[in-house]
Each structure stands twice: as structure tokens, then as C-alpha cells.
Amino acid sequence: MTTIAFIGLGNMGIGMASNLAKAGHEVRALDLSKDAIGRAVAAGCTAAKNAKDAVESADVVVTMLPAGAHVKMVYGGEDGVFNYAKAGALMIDCSTIDVASAREVIASAEHKGFAMIDAPVSGGVGGAAAGTLTFMCGGTNEAYSRAQEVLNIMGKNVFHAGDAGNGQVAKICNNMLLGIHMIGTCEAFNLAEKLGLDAQTFYDISSTASGQNWSMTSYCPAPGPVESAPSNRDYEAGFSAAMMLKDLRLAQDAATSARAATPLGTQSEAMYSLMEAAGKDGLDFSGIMKLLNGSL
Ligand code: NAD
């Protein structure tokens, strides 16, 4: 049995921490919200009072927090993990954060003698609860291999993307591509319909032709062709437009600092920010269809 400190028990963290507890590990649960800690205790974790209490006996520290600022504070703040973790503890940050913060926190961990990886996920709340997440990891080979046991309990696919921060790079590049092909797919279905071609017929043709892509065949933004898609539930999320916008903004910040040209990524961010401005970013990210057909 490994003692694991789990910090950040929100929508994602609760399922992940529960799976670690179910696998027989002692999970020391910490969150700013008492209700979140209560849910973790009900799922078999033990409540920690503060960072010291959570991490001082932990072999592994896992975090699942909203953004880079939270991660920097939780690890490096005055009352942070680095001050209380035991020698040799392994740290795994699963949050989706900016690449620069991820690299900064990992460098600081290594400077203090801790092994640490960034390990953002895809798979959503359902994947977190089912233990089927995909992890994209960045860090040394040694830290990555030490993290395997814990990651394999919470996920189904675990990838080593390279050095520190490369997990975040993989995540934002993937999601930028997803945003772009979702918008393109919405445009194609919208145009087809305006020109008198119904969604199912266009789907039957394009899904076996060169326009085929994941947004079309697994998550079709036009109601009808893919039964499980949010478009058949009036675009109830799913993966919300707000979350897509968060990832597109991270991608744009990274592109600016790397001086990489991402004109379609820029345009995708602008499209999703229109959903935010309309107060509709709680809809699924395939709801761009509603922006295009005037039903938002
Ligand atoms: P969430 O807001 O539901 O959970 C975050 C939790 O962190 C909250 O319970 C909050 O109280 C806690 N927290 C914040 N600051 C803290 C601190 N200083 N100390 C202790 N706890 C603190 O968010 P979520 O949906 O669980 O997402 C977590 C991360 O996973 C984000 O980075 C998100 O981008 C990423 N992610 C989410 C999804 C998804 O579908 N929800 C999918 C993939 C990746």
C-alpha cells in the first residue's frame, strides 16, 4: 500500500482519488472545499487538515487543480507541498495548466530533490470516474516510470511525451486541433444543410470520404448521425465550450511565447470566446453549430 496525498477533489479529482482508494491505497484528501473532502471520505479517502497533514507521510502527491497559479501556490507557496513532503516523494500534477508554469514548478521540485511530472489528462469526468483517462506525461524517465503504478489505476492509456512540460504541450496541441476540426465540421454540416443536403446523407458520404474526422464520426455536431453525441441532447455538455476555450487560450499563450504561427488556433479561440460572450459556454463545445446556424 502506498500513501498518496491527493489535492484538488473537484469534478475530476474526486473520481481519480476514489479509484486510488478503491485500489487499496491510503489517500490523504485535501481541498479548499469541505464538501469536496466529505465526498472523498465517503469514497474511502481520509481527510487532511492542511498541506502538511496531507503530504508529510505521503510517498506520492497528486494534484488536480484549476490553473497554473493554483499549482504554483499549492507546491511552492509558503504553506506548500515542497515545505512538508518527505524526502524522495514523487509528485504528479494532473491539472491542465500553462506550459511555462508546469516547467517552472517541476524545475523547482527537482531543485529541492523531488521527482515530479506533469500529467494532464483527457477523458473528462466520465473517464476520471471509470479510471479510463489518458495521461500525457512530461518529465524524466525515472520520474515517469515511478508514476506508472498510480497512473495505471486512474487511466487506461499513459504516454511519455518527453521532458518536463511536454505533457501540457501534447494536451494543448491536441485540443487546439480538436477545436479546429470541430469548427470545420460544424461549418460543413451547416453549409450542406443550407444547400439542401441533409445531415445524414452528408454524414454517410463524408464519413467515408476525405473530410472524415473524429468530430464528425464520434461526436457529430449535427443532430442525428451519431446517437451518443451531445447534438442529440440540445448540446448539453459533454466537454463544455468553456473548457475548450480554456485550452485554446493556453495554446495561444504558448504559441505567442514560442512565436509559432497558429492562425486557425487563433480563430478557434475567437469563435469560442463568442460563445462565452453570449453566456452559452456551458453548452458542449460542439454547440458552435448553434452559433453558425443562428440558433444560439
Ligand atoms: P474543479 O474546479 O471541479 O476542481 C478543482 C478543485 O481544486 C476544486 O475542488 C477546488 O476547491 C480545488 N482547489 C483550488 N485551489 C485549491 C487549493 N489551493 N488547495 C486545495 N484545493 C484547491 O475542476 P475540474 O473540472 O476537476 O478540473 C481540474 C483540472 O483538470 C483543470 O485543470 C481542468 O482543466 C482539467 N481537466 C478537466 C476536465 C473536465 O472534464 N472537467 C477534463 C480534462 C482536464
Is the C-beta atom of 101 inside 6 A of ligand 1? no
Distance 122 CA to ligand 1 centre (A): 13
pLDDT, tens digit (0-9, with 9 covering 90-100), for 139-188: 999 999 999 999 999 999 999 999 999 999 999 999 999 999 999 999 99
Produce one character per residue of 221-258: b if its CB has 16 or more CB atoms within 10 Å, e if not.
bbbebbeebbbeeebebbbbbbbbbbbbebbbebbeee
Ligand 1, residue 67: give the atom nearest the CA: 32
Q: With cut-offs at 50, 70 and 90, classify the pLDDT of residue 10.
A: very high
Q: What is the pLDDT of residue 133?
A: 97
Ligand 1 atom having least distance to the Cα of 30: 20
Asked if residue 128 has pLDDT above 90, the reply is yes
CA distance 101 to 247: 14
| Closest C-alpha residue for ligand 1 atom 21 | 31
Statement: the pTM of the whole predicted model exceeds 0.75: yes
Domain 3-163 = CATH 3.40.50.720: yes
User: What does the pLDDT look like over 191-222, one tens digit per residue?
Assistant: 999 999 999 999 999 999 999 999 999 999 99
pLDDT(243) > 90 = yes
Residue 59: predicted pLDDT:
98
User: Which residue among 7, 9, 11, 33 has the greatest number of ligand 1 atoms within 8 angstroms of its CB, and so is best to mutate?
Assistant: 11
Please report, for the chain, the start and end positions of each structural domain, with discontinuous segments joined by +. Answer: 3-163, 169-292
Report the top-level CATH class of 169-292: mainly alpha
Helix and strand numbers, DSSP H then E, in the chain? 14, 9
Asked if residue 238 has pLDDT above 90, the reply is: no
Does position 60 have pLDDT exceeding 90, yes or no?
Answer: yes
194 part of the active site: no
What span, in angstroms and rounded, lies between the C-alpha atoms of 82 and 230? 42
Comparing CA positions, the residue from 296, 286, 292 lying closest to residue 225 is: 286
Residue-averaged pLDDT of the chain: 97
